[in-house]
Every structure is written in structure tokens, then in C-alpha cells.
Amino acid sequence: MLSIWGILAPMNAPRTARERARAELTAEITDAARRQLADVGPTDLSLRAIARDLGMASSAIYRYFASRDALLTALIVDAYDSLGEAVEAAEALVDRGDHLGRWMTATRAARAWALDHRHEYSLIYGSPVPGYAAPTDTIDPAGRVGLVVAAILADAAEAGVLGMVAGPQPVDGLIEPGVVDQLGADPAHAAAGVQAWTWLFGAISFELFGHYNNVVVDPDEWFDDAMARLAHLAGLTA
């Protein structure tokens, strides 16, 4: 039943001119915001400047976003998606059996994305924006990088190449059961995975926010070295 009607007006897509214009303008606003975010940082992001950039009245923006925070939230979701996509795309190119290689590639991709999108990164992994009360919209996209890590660990476990967690074994019940399921591994490896995930973004944040100044010599080398050791911690050796 793929009628011409269906093609001209596909389901779940804007049908009227007004709806199409609305969708386009919404995208244009977020685009302009992202563009502005490239050189000013979340705090200085100005609704009026975005409006000027688009040649419209600042009040008109409020037809599309209830507030500056709402716009920021949209950008946060986009940023999570952009980061997730970058990591997924890079990791997908690696031989499925090379679990350590997949881990290194995924983490390098995350760091590279962060360095290329500093302000977007600090939007999602810096301090939360003032009034922002972690809307549920962000929960899903936030998990994408975690899911990649999960898949790598799960595949390694299935292949039987997941070694013991290094050091004292994590006690059970630390990680939410649902997350453990997603990780497809035992609780100990789930904990190690979350620990690795924490360190990944901790290290990126430290580098981006300047805490490694006068401490780390070569950030590239440091990151790779630490990531390899971290993989070992999680039992990922091949």
C-alpha cells in the first residue's frame, strides 16, 4: 500500500507545510546553537545571539523551545548521540574477534570526539547546567558508549577469553542487575566494566579541563597506556 499519497506524505513525518517548516526551523536553531557552542561554551550560549544568527526575533525562539535550558537539553541529547555514533562507527570497523583492539579503538574514538567537541563534551560530562534536572530524555542516549563497552565485554565472555578481574574480586550487588544483564557478564566483570567506563571519562575530563597540565608528558601516549592497563583490569587481554 505504498501509494503516492504515502510517498508524498510518509507516516510519522511532517505532512503540512507548516509542520515541515517547524521541523526545519527547529533543526536550524539547534544547528546554530551547536555552531555557537563551538566557540563559546555552554554558559555563554546566548539565545539572542542564535536568534540574530538566524535573522529572527529572540522571542520567536520560544515558539520552538520553552526556555534556554530546554534548548540546552536538546543539545545534550544530540551530543550524546554524536559521541555514541562516533564511538560505534569506529569500533564497528575492528575485527569482531579482536576484543582488546575493539576496546582500544572505542576509547580512542571517545577521546578524539571529546577533543574535537570540547564544549559539547563539557556540556554532557562537565558540571550539570544550573537549573537542569537530568531529564529522562537524556538517559537513553547517555548509555550508548556504555553499551559499546558492554558488547565488547560480552563478546569476550562468550568467546571464553575474558580473564579474571585483576586484584580483589568486586563484591556482588554493586551494579544494578539490569546493567549487569546488558554487560552479559558476571557481576565482577560488570563492576570492572563500570570502573573502566568511569576511568575513561575521568581521564578525558582531566585532560580537557587541564588537570593533567604539568603532570602528564604526552596525553596520547598516556591515554593509550592507561587504557591498555585498564582493559587488563577488566580481564580483557585479547
Partner DNA sequence: TCTCGAACGAGAGCACCGCTCTCCCTTTCT
Partner DNA sequence: AGAAAGGGAGAGCGGTGCTCTCGTTCGAGA
Question: Which residues of the shown chain bind DNA in the complex (CB under 7 A)?
Answer: 15-19, 21-22, 25, 45-49, 55-60, 62-64, 67-69
One residue of 37, 42, 78, 102 binding its own copies per CB under 8 A: 42
226 binds, among its own copies, DNA, none (CB under 5 to 8 A by kind): its own copies
Residue 181's CB is within 10 A of a number of other CB atoms, namely: 13
Tell me how far apart the alpha carbons of residues 129 and 43 are, in angstroms, rounded to a whole number: 8
Residue 96 binds which entry of DNA, its own copies, none, with Cβ cut-offs from 5 to 8 Å by kind?
none
125 to 144, contacts with its own copies by CB under 8 A? 125-130, 134, 139, 142
214 binds its own copies (CB under 8 A): yes
Minimum Å distance from CB 164 to its own copies?
11
The grid coordinates of residue 140 equal 537513553
Interface segment toward its own copies; rule CB under 8 A; list 10-18, 54-62, 72-80, 119-127: 119-127
